[in-house]
Structure 1
Amino acid sequence: MTRETVRIAMNGVTGRMGHRPHLVRSILALRDEGGLDLGDGTVLWPEPVLVGRRGHALRALAEQHGLEHWSTDLDAVLADPAVGIYFDAQVTSAREEAIKKAIAAGKHIYTEKPTATSLDGALELARLAAEKGVRHGVVQDKLFLPGLRKLKRLVDGGFFGRILSIRGEFGYWVFEGDWQPAQRPSWNYRAEDGGGIVLDMFPHWEYVLHELFGRVTSVQALTATHIPQRWDERGKPYDATADDAAYGVFELAGGAIAQINSSWAVRVNRDELVEFQVDGTEGSAVAGLRTCRVQHRSATPKPVWDPDFPAAYSFRDQWQEVPDNADFGNAFKAQWELFLRHVYAGAPYHWDLLAGARGVQLAELGLKSAAQGRRLDLPEIAL
C-alpha cells in the first residue's frame, strides 16, 4: 500500500458545523480508520489545516486533536502548493469570497451550503470552478442519512406507485438566549449576516426533493420572524432581522406536491427533528433521520370519522418498520469519502457547485415569493 497525504484547508472548523460533523466525525474519523483506501493500492491520508479568524481557538482545537497545522492567514494557506482541497464551513456571508480565492489558487472545492447569498453569486462560483478546471462539491448530507436512504430505496423499488405528495416537518425550539443559552449562533437570526431559516434550510429541501422525487418547478412560501428579540453569545439583546420560520409549498416535475414547514420556534412532537411523509397510490412512508416506516395499499385500514368516540386502535401501530439492510455510517463522512474518491480517483460525483446553486435559487425565490405573496416558477439553471 502507498500512503498519499492529502492536505485539506478547513475554514470555519471552530464553529458548530465545521467542528463535529466535518473535522471530528469525518476527517479525523478517516484518520482513525487508517485513511481512505482507493482500492488501487493507494490509501489517502487526510491532513487538515485548520483555518479561521480566532487564533487562540484554532490553537486549542489543534492541541485537542493532536494536529500540527493551523493558520489565521487564508491567503498564505491557499498559496501553499501542498494544500489540495479547500473546505468552507464559515458563516454564509463570508463563504463566497473565500471560495473565489480558493478557486483562483487552483484548489479543489468542497463546501457547506448555501454556497452564496444570491443565485448570481452561486452561479459565478460554479462558472469559475468550471473555467479553472478544479473539482468541486457541495455538502448535501441529508441524502446520506439512514432514514432518507431507506426512503430512496422505496422510491427506486417502485413501492409508492405514482407519488402524490410529500409533507415535511422540520425544526425545534431554539432558546432565545436570555434565561437559557441558544443552541444556534446569533448570526443565524440576522439577515445582514446571511441568517434566516429560508437561506439555511431551503437549499436542503431542494436537493432532497430533487434527488428523491423530482425537480422543484414552483415555490410558494410564507415566512415569519416569530421571536423578534434574542440574546447573543455575550448575553446582549439584539433584534432578530431574519426569518425563523418558513412554510413552503413546492410543485415538482411529474406533478407531485410537497409541503414543508421549517421552524426554530416549534416544540417537537414527532419521533425525529425532521420527518417526511410520502403518499402514493400504492403505499406511504414516513422517514426521519434514521428510521423509515411504511404502510402498503394492501394493509391500509379504513378509518371512519366519528368524533363522538375515542379511536379504537393506534394508527402508528399499523405501520411497518423498514429494515436497515446495510451499515450506513455517518452521513457527512460518507459524502467526504465520495468527494475524495472523485478528486483523487476520478469517481463520478454530481453534487457540485451547480447543484448548490439550485438550492440558492430555491431560497432566493422562496424569499421573493413570501415578500410578494404569490407562487413563483423556478426556471432550470445551467452554466
Structure 2
Amino acid sequence: MTARTLGVVMNGVTGRMGYRQHLLRSVLAINEAGGVPLAGGGRVTLRPILVGRSAERVRALAERHGIPDWTADLDAALADPGADIYFDAQVTSARVGAVTRAIDAGKHVYVEKPTADSLEDAVTLAKKARAAGVKNGVVQDKLFLPGLRKLKRLVDGGFFGRVLSVRGEFGYWVFEGDWQAAQRPSWNYRAEDGGGIVLDMFPHWHYVLENLFGRVQAVTARAVTHVPRRWDENGSPYDATADDAAYGIFELEGGVIAQINSSWTTRVFRDELVEFQVDGTEGSAVAGLRRCRVQHRAMTPKPVWNPDLPATEKFREQWQEVPDNEDFDNGFKVQWEMFVRHVVEDAPFPHDFASGARGVQLAEAGLLSSAEGRRVELTPVDLGEESAR
C-alpha cells in the first residue's frame, strides 16, 4: 500500500475556528486515523506548516502539538518545496492578498468562507486560480452536518413533494465583552476588518439553499447593528461598525421562498443554535445541526385556532425522528478529506472558488438590499460578470 505526505501551509490557526476545527479536529485527526484513504489504495498524511502574524503564538501552538514546522513569514512557508496546499483561516480582510501569493507560488488553495469581502475580489481569485491551474476549494461545512445530511436525504428521496418554503433561525447572544467576555472575536463587529453577520452567514445560507433547494434568484434583506458598543480582547471599548443581525427573504428557482434570521443578539429558545423548517406539499421537516424531525402529510393533525382555550396538543410530540442510518464524522474533517482526494487523484470537489464567489455575491446583494431598501435580483456569476442589479 503506497503512502504519501502532503505539506499544508495553515495560515490563521491561532484563531478559534482555524485551531479547533481545521488543525485539531481535521488535519491532526486525519493523521491520527492513519491518513486520507484513496480510491486507488494507499493513504495520504498531512504535514502542517503553521503560519501566523505572532511568532510567539504560533510557536506556542506548534510546541503544544509537537509540530516542527512553523513560521511568521508566509513567503518562507510558501517557498517550502514540500508544501502542496495553502489553507487560509485568517480574518477576511487579509485573505485575498495571502491567497493571491499562494496561487502565484503554485499552491493548491483551500480557504474558509467568505473567499473575499467583495464580489469583485472573489471573482478575481476564482479567475486567478483557474488560470493558474491550481485546485481550489472553499469550506462549506454545514453541508456535512448530520442534521442537514438527513435533510438532503429527504429532499433526494422526494419526501417533501413540491417544496414550498424554508424558514431558518440562527444565532445566540454574543456578550458585549464588558461584564462578561465575548465568545466571538472583536473583528467580527468591525466592518473595516471584514466583520458583519451578513458577510459571515449569507455565504453559508447560499450554499445550503443552492445545494438543497435551488439557486437564489433574488434577496430582500435588512441588516442592522443592534449593539453599537462592544469591548475587545483587551477590555477596551470600541464602536461596532458592522451588522450583528440580518433578516433575509431569499427567492429560489422553482418558486421556493426562504426566510432566514441571523443574529448575534438573540437568546436561544429552540433545540439547536441553527434550525431550518422545510414545508412541502407532502411533508415537512425541521433540521438542526444534528437532529432532523419530520411530519408526513398522512400524519399531519388538524389543529383548530381557538384563542379562548389553552392549547392541549403537544405539537412537538407529533413529529418523528429521522434515524442516523450512518456514522457522521466531523464535517470539517470530511471536507478536508474530499479536498485532499481532489488534489491527489482529481476526485470531484464542487465547492470551488466559483461557488465561494456566489456566496459573496449573495452577501453583497443582501447588504445592497438593506442599504437601499429594495429587492435585489441575482444573475449567474460568470467569473467577472456584474451580477447584482
TM-score by length of 2: 0.98
Q: Residue 230 in 1 paired to residue 230 in 2? A: yes
| Distance in 1 separating the partners of 2:158 and 2:37 | 34
How far off its partner does 1:2 sit? Answer: 2.1
SS in 2 for 1:199: helix
AA aligned opposite 2:263: S
AA aligned opposite 1:190: R
| Distance in 2 separating the partners of 1:37 and 1:152 | 25
- The C-alpha deviation readout for 1:278-302, integer Å capped at 9, x for no partner, is 0000000000000000000000000
* Bigger mean CA deviation after superposition, 35-44 or 337-346: 35-44
Q: Residue 295 in 1 paired to residue 295 in 2? A: yes
Aligned residue in 2 for 1:354: 354
| Distance in 2 separating the partners of 1:252 and 1:106 | 37
How far off its partner does 1:246 sit? Answer: 0.1
| Distance in 2 separating the partners of 1:310 and 1:178 | 42
Aligned residue in 1 for 2:77: 77
Aligned residue in 1 for 2:68: 68
Q: Percent identical across equivalent pairs?
A: 70
Aligned residue in 1 for 2:125: 125
SS in 2 for 1:120: helix
| Distance in 1 separating the partners of 2:131 and 2:328 | 35
Aligned residue in 1 for 2:271: 271
- The C-alpha deviation readout for 1:289-336, integer Å capped at 9, x for no partner, is 000000000000001011111111210000000000011110000000
Aligned residue in 2 for 1:193: 193
How far off its partner does 1:193 sit? Answer: 0.5
Aligned residue in 1 for 2:25: 25
| Distance in 1 separating the partners of 2:291 and 2:257 | 23
AA aligned opposite 1:172: Y
How far off its partner does 1:183 sit? Answer: 0.3
Q: What pairs with 1:134-145 in structure 2 (closer than 5 Å)?
A: 134-145=134-145
Aligned pair count reads 383
| Distance in 2 separating the partners of 1:121 and 1:39 | 35
Q: Residue 382 in 1 paired to residue 382 in 2? A: yes
AA aligned opposite 1:222: R
Q: What pairs with 1:1-383 in structure 2 (closer than 5 Å)?
A: 1-383=1-383
AA aligned opposite 2:21: P
| Distance in 1 separating the partners of 2:17 and 2:218 | 30
AA aligned opposite 1:208: V
- The C-alpha deviation readout for 1:175-195, integer Å capped at 9, x for no partner, is 000000000000000001100
TM-score by length of 1: 0.99
| Distance in 2 separating the partners of 1:74 and 1:42 | 31
How far off its partner does 1:252 sit? Answer: 0.0
How far off its partner does 1:40 sit? Answer: 2.5
SS in 2 for 1:180: coil
- The C-alpha deviation readout for 1:99-134, integer Å capped at 9, x for no partner, is 000001000000001000110100000000000000
AA aligned opposite 2:175: F
| Distance in 2 separating the partners of 1:282 and 1:288 | 20
AA aligned opposite 2:130: A
| Distance in 2 separating the partners of 1:73 and 1:56 | 13
Q: Which runs of 4+ in 1 moved over 3 A?
A: none
How far off its partner does 1:41 sit? Answer: 3.3
SS in 2 for 1:254: helix
- The C-alpha deviation readout for 1:350-381, integer Å capped at 9, x for no partner, is 10000000000000010000000000001101
| Distance in 2 separating the partners of 1:124 and 1:42 | 36
SS in 2 for 1:278: strand
How far off its partner does 1:75 sit? Answer: 0.7
| Distance in 2 separating the partners of 1:81 and 1:134 | 16
How far off its partner does 1:51 sit? Answer: 0.5
AA aligned opposite 1:366: G
How far off its partner does 1:79 sit? Answer: 1.5
AA aligned opposite 1:160: F
| Distance in 2 separating the partners of 1:275 and 1:375 | 25
| Distance in 2 separating the partners of 1:214 and 1:3 | 40
Unaligned runs of 5+ in 1: none
Q: What RMSD in Å do the two structures reach over aligned CA positions?
A: 0.6
